[in-house]
Amino acid sequence: MRIIKVIYNNDTKNCLKLIGKLDRVFIEKYNYDHYKEKKNAIPIMTRHGAKKLPFLVFEDENLEEYAAYWSESKKELTLDLINELLNTKLQSKLINS
């Protein structure tokens, strides 16, 4: 099962509705506006150099991070983009085989 870590705030929580439409994905949510959740979100964002929200990190079954979405990338967060990022690891395995 793949994991998506979603870091959002009250202004960007509409991304959760979009991500909730996915099947066979475990979602870890961190609300940046909530003190205890922010404490857990900061190390994830720092590791990737992200500053704006929403921020998504994609992990595989072995808990290895293989893709991320930064809102700084200027790409709009869509279901197609999320599916593309989810399949990034699978595509790289097929190419390297």
- What is the 3-class SS of 21-52, one letter each residue? CCCCEEEEEEECCCHHHHHHHHHHHHHHCCCC
Read off the pLDDT of residues 68-88 as tens digits, 9 standing for 90 and up. 998 887 688 889 998 888 887
Beta bridge mates, 8: 31
Number of domains in the chain: 1
Give per-residue pLDDT as tens, 11-62.
998 999 999 998 889 999 999 999 999 999 999 999 999 999 999 999 988 8
* CATH value at residue 45: 3.40.30.10
The predicted structure's pLDDT at residue 97: 40
Residue type, 26: F
Residue 68 phi/psi, 5° resolution?
Answer: -150, 155
Q: Max alpha carbon distance in the chain (Å)?
A: 44
pTM of the model: 0.85
Q: How many residues does the chain have?
A: 97
The parent domain of residue 50 ranges over 2-96
pLDDT value, residue 95: 43
Cα 9 from Cα 14, distance rounded (Å)? 9
